[in-house]
Structure 1
Amino acid sequence: MKTKILLLLLFGWAGVIFGQISKFKERHILFVYERDSDKKQNGNNKEDSLIYIYFVNNTNQKEEIISSNYDSHSNLISRTIKGGKVLDWSKKQVLTFKILEDNGVIVDQDDTKIKLKANIKAEKGRLYIYPWKFNGAKEDKINKFIKNNTFCIELKDNVNFAVNMHEWQAGVMTIPLKAYIGRRNKENTGGMVETGVGIGGYAGWKFLAKTHFVKLNHEEDYRVYVSGLSINGLLGLSAVQLADDNSNDNSVTFRGKFPALNTGIALGAHYKELGLLLSFGWDIPLNKYGSNWNFKGKPWVGIGLGYKLF
């Protein structure tokens, strides 16, 4: 009964954590540089491969033509127009240091770049940028500018554009390899390395991370993936095998499996949704038979695998 209650609590905790973390958004960091003093713009410093942020006023709209029909003399017969209007990106402008300064961003005399915190979404052949609101003396002016315009980045073909980011994350994990540090009964040496597979969840903060946007010439849509490091809390369940060589008191006759709650912390290395977790923690027995376990109350180090859900 106790095990079932702990299971419910575990998955209840995971549901609450995952639900809360899913409300957080990725925080991407972009820069707009003062070009007279720094010829770098969100990428490398080669003039032919600079990556600029563009914007267009939301009032600049046009009808979107889906298809056109012509006769044999190339005269237009008819056009199919999509309902509603779309932004006219032919009127786009480059977002510059001066434009942001003129629209209320406070900068010091020695500043050569302005940092933008934003969410980025790959859609319809562009990277749409949704800047976060500014805080400051002229926040009303700059935030009005952000509201009245739409921002994007247009990548050339075969470019891997990486943007610094950080975020809260959560996922499921297993720790298939553990090594216990110390034991209660020094004479029994079995079970110091465990290879059993448990199941649990992790939640933490991803840092030193980048979101990669890749535009290949034979693909219309962008490829998007994230890489980076994280620090996480762990909570899971596993089944521990109690045997003669890993018991504390050999006079206790019970031999078999008992459930244990896995708690700990982990440093993660992530690529896309997969994560490698270098973990440290403790296993807490969930019934009376676990009190005879030689590693009760002893810490462990382990290697785990995680899959990001949120």
Structure 2
Amino acid sequence: MKTKIVLLFLLGWMEVMWGQESFNLRYRIYNQLGEYNLKKKIMKRYDSLSENEQKKIRNKYKIGDKLSIEDKIIIQNKETKVIREIIIDEKFFKNYKIDTIVSANIGNMEHGNVRIDKNKLLVNLLLKCGKSSPAYFYELENRKSPSLPFTSVTVSAITIPIKYRFKGKDGLGEEFSTAINGNLFLGYTYGKSTFFYQEEIETKVNTWKVTGGLLFGASSVKLDKSNSDPVPIDDHSLPPEYVDATKGLASIAIGITYSYNNINVGAFFGFDYAIGQHADLWKYNKKPWLGIGIGYKLFSF
């Protein structure tokens, strides 16, 4: 038995997961992510700055000095840059604004999406009551790896070419079956993404996730003497007759998969239901099976 389970596992590499799609992906966003603080950029007016900050600005921009400013204007539906010259006066300081980075406070935890931009992990929180939120970010440090957990609903198309069917009553033997099949796996996913930042190179994202859910599928089986009972005959003096036909199968199973980047490992426990005339003659109709596989996600839509 153990040998057959190992064989099933080794042969399970034939499983292929393709067309995997995640819906409602939500990262969990915190004010404090290890040693990283969630930050945001705000615009501060000149009159809200400290006296020392105002002094630095006035030392940089002297009253009466000329300053060239680049503006963008639309001419014949095309954006054009123009340079205009102004003279610095008190009105200039009254309208002066400066970008300032401050620590953010979003409460205990919020959900959102993330995107990498150079040395920043940009955060876009999910809308609440249609209200937009500021742009938040974590500032990444060289050769460090902050991690963010996430959840999602996952839909995957999966094939399970090898199934192990258990022993049963009345001398029903165990069986390994192979067949072409197509299955749809619907599940809930929990995972975590790690963002490894390397200065002047790139930010490498490694993601692991576990998905549990239901599998629905279709396949076929060829009935023969080895896997089916004979057709009932009233005249017991006649030899038994066996059906030689291919029957459709509907499958339902529960399963769990583990993924690390594009590598997938999955285990499924389910039942096959034969369809059509003489379906009940198939010995493994409505009997449990186990499928295990290792695969590589070829495509992601």
- Give the aligned partner of residue 31 of structure 1: 30
Once the two structures are superposed, what CA deviation does each residue of 1:215-266 show, in whole Å capped at 9, x if it has no partner? 233534x333431212111011223233322212373333354321121110
- Deviation readout 1:108-160 (Å, 9 max, x if unpaired): xxxxxx222222122454221112356xxxxx9xx96x62x211112123232
SS at match of 2:199: coil
Task: Look up the match of 2:204.
Answer: 223
Q: Which runs of 5+ in 2 are unaligned?
A: 1-18, 46-69, 73-78, 82-96, 232-239
Structure 2 partner of 1:255? 244
**3-state SS of 2:226 partner:** helix
Q: Specify whether residues 249 and 52 from structure 1 end up closer, same or farther in structure 2 by C-alpha distance, changes over 3 A only.
A: same
> Closer, same or farther in 2 for the Cα pair 1:234/1:227, shift >3 Å?
same
Query: Within 1, Cα distance between the matches of 2:101 and 2:291?
Result: 53
Q: Secondary structure at the match of 1:128?
A: strand
> How many angstroms apart in 2 are the aligned matches of 1:89 and 1:233?
53
Residue identity (%): 19
Separation of aligned partners in 1, 2:42 and 2:229: 73
Instruction: Give the aligned residue type for 1:196.
Output: A
1:93 partnered with 2:102: yes
Query: Structure 1 stretches of 5 or more lacking a match?
Result: 1-17, 33-40, 44-49, 61-78, 106-113, 135-139
* TM-score between the two structures when normalised by the length of structure 1: 0.62
Amino acid across the alignment from 2:42: N
SS for the counterpart of 2:33 is coil
Q: What does residue range 1-310 of structure 1 map to in structure 2 within 5 Å?
A: 24-32=23-31, 41-43=32-34, 50-57=35-42, 91-95=100-104, 97=105, 100=106, 114-133=108-127, 147=133, 149-183=134-168, 185-186=170-171, 189=173, 192-207=175-190, 209-220=191-202, 222-249=203-230, 251-304=240-293, 307=297, 309=300
Partner of 1:9: none
From the superposition, tell whether residues 159 and 90 of structure 1 become closer, same or farther in structure 2 (CA, over 3 Å): farther
Q: Hey, which of these two has a bigger chunk of helix by percent?
A: 1
User: Aligned-pair distance for 1:172?
Assistant: 1.0
Report Cα offsets for 1:238-296 as digits up to 9, x if no partner. 23233322212373333354321121110111222443221111111133253321101
How far does residue 185 in structure 1 lie from its aligned partner after superposition?
5.0
Structure (1/2) with the larger strand percentage: 2
Rg: which structure is higher? 2
TM-score, with structure 2 as normaliser: 0.63
Specify which structure has the bigger relative contact order, considering alpha-carbon pairs within 8 angstroms and separated by 6 or more residues.
2
Question: In 2 relative to 1, CA 246–223 (structure 1 residues): closer, same or farther, beyond 3 Å?
Answer: same
Secondary structure of 1:291's aligned partner: helix
